Amino acid sequence: MEIKKNTSLKPFNTFGIDVIATSFVEVKNIQEVKSVLSNNKQPLLILGGGSNLLFTTDFDGLAIKNNLKEITVVEENDSEIYLKIGAGEVWHEFVLYCIKNGYAGVENLSLIPGNVGASPMQNIGAYGVEVKDVITEVEALHLKDLSLRTFTNEACEFSYRSSVFKTSEKGNYFITSVTFKLNKQAKVNTSYGAIDGELKRLEIESPTIKDVSNAVINIRSSKLPDPKKIGNSGSFFKNPIISEGQKNKILANYPDAPNYSQPNGVFKMAAGWLIEKCGWKGKRIDDYGVHELQALVLVNYGGAKGSEIYSLSEKIIESVNSKFGIILEREVNIL
């Protein structure tokens, strides 16, 4: 385990922002994490796949890249399997492993970048499924006293793009593994409209989990930029949750505004639609801008600075607020 000095983090964030970390180390097991943490006095940044981060400045501290690999069968019966997955496993590779073995539950979350360890952080979600639906436990190391704690699904306090690790326990834990409960008797979930449409286009009537995964991959690839080609962190903002009154006010002027009814009488509005209506979709300024196919995605065409992308996000928040009276919240973690 080598602690490197003044390392560029460009290869470690999907926005492709070139910043320097004062110290950088890669860890591959809990012992190495403990050893690094017990000797460290600098500010700490835990890095997974770097796909939900925007660096606005150099990082004056220790960036610790999580490479903890492990796939363990915890328990199994005729209908279910419980798998404990190391936090450094790549999320989409885990999804493909489940599909190959016939374990249903994560196929709708195909092609989400990043590592398994970050999946509970913001309760990743797509195409009608959130990872909270399949997580039973999260194991995490306390950064100060180095004790290992197991969080049950309930203790994770999952909600839309959030968990206890982004709220009351923010910055307190290094997630080391996640345990998932998967179904051996596949029950596919195609309730999210676009999946059904894509399956029809492919002329598939009785979809397998592999078919659903392929449909999701096709839909995602048609509108989300591939970070290997154009730097980005997926949705830059969360979809805002608004009251029925606010929703009706918008619908009075824009009857086609996409909105989704939520429990407790509130509504989720499509932030991409709000941003598009403010005229930002496809806007390019120098080397950064708003993606031409998905206005919720801010992009780096090559040499952008994180601070420029952050300023763009401020302008977007201002214009959505002045047109619709809605304050967008960033989904991406800003550093």
Binding site for ligand FAD (CB under 6 A): 14, 45-53, 66, 87, 112-115, 117-119, 121-122, 124-126, 173-175, 224, 227, 232-234, 333
Q: Closer to ligand EPU at the Cβ: 123 or 176?
A: 123
Least spacing, CB of residue 9 vs ligand FAD, in Å:
10
8 A C-beta contact, residue 127 and residue 195: yes
25: phi then psi, degrees, rounded to nearest 5: -145, 145
Residues of the shown chain interacting with ligand EPU in the complex, contacts defined by CB under 6 A:
126-127, 234-235, 238-239, 258, 270, 272-273, 276, 281, 294-296, 331
Residue 296's binding partner among ligand FAD, ligand EPU, none (Cβ under 5 to 8 angstroms by kind) is ligand EPU
| Least distance between ligand FAD and beta carbon 331 (Å) | 7
Nearer to ligand EPU, 120 or 272 (CB): 272
State the binding partner of 273 from ligand EPU, ligand FAD, none, CB within 5 to 8 A by kind: ligand EPU
Q: Which does 54 bind (CB under 5 to 8 A by kind): ligand EPU, ligand FAD, none?
A: none
Do 184 and 150 form a contact (C-beta atoms < 8 A)?
Answer: no
> Do 173 and 148 form a contact (C-beta atoms < 8 A)?
no
AA letter at 3 = I
- Residue 201 among the catalytic residues: no
* Calculated CA dihedral for residues 295, 298, 303, 304, nearest 10 degrees: 120
Does 161 qualify as catalytic in the annotation? yes
**What's the rounded Cα separation, in Å, for the pair 44 and 41?**
9
**Minimum distance from CB of 130 to ligand FAD (Å)?**
8
Q: Which is nearer to ligand EPU, 86 or 240 (CB)?
A: 240
Please tell me which residue in 177, 213, 235, 313 is annotated as part of the active site: 235
Q: How far apart are CA 67 and CA 64, in angstroms?
A: 9
Q: How far is the CB of 39 from ligand FAD (least distance, A)?
A: 19
Q: Which does 14 bind (CB under 5 to 8 A by kind): ligand FAD, ligand EPU, none?
A: ligand FAD
Shortest Cβ 42–ligand FAD spacing (Å):
15
In the bound state with ligand EPU, the residue whose beta carbon lies nearer, of 111 and 138, is: 111
Give whole-number Cα distances, 22 to 3, 60, 233, in Å. Answer: 10, 5, 23
Q: 139, 198, 308, 331: which one is catalytic?
A: 331
Give the long-range contacts of residues 304-310, CB within 8 A, separation 24 or more.
304/17, 304/231, 305/17, 305/56, 306/15, 306/17, 306/19, 306/54, 306/55, 306/56, 306/57, 306/335, 307/56, 307/57, 309/15, 309/17, 309/54, 310/54, 310/56, 310/334
Nearer to ligand EPU, 68 or 295 (CB): 295
Amino acid identity at 30: I
Contact of residue 239 among ligand EPU, ligand FAD, none (CB under 5-8 Å per partner type)? ligand EPU
Q: Count each helix (H run) and each strand (E run) in the chain, helices first.
A: 7, 20
319 is catalytic: no
Distance in Å, CB of 60 to ligand EPU, minimum: 28
Q: Which of ligand FAD, ligand EPU, none has residue 66 at its interface (CB below 5 to 8 Å by kind)?
A: ligand FAD
The one catalytic residue among 161, 163, 177, 213: 161
Token reading at 21:
């970390």
DSSP state of 270: -
Nearer to ligand EPU, 176 or 259 (CB): 259
Query: Count of CB atoms within 10 A of residue 128's CB?
Result: 15
With the C-alpha atoms ordered 310, 316, 318, 324, is the resulting torsion angle positive or negative? Answer: negative
Which sequence positions are flagged as catalytic? 161, 235, 331
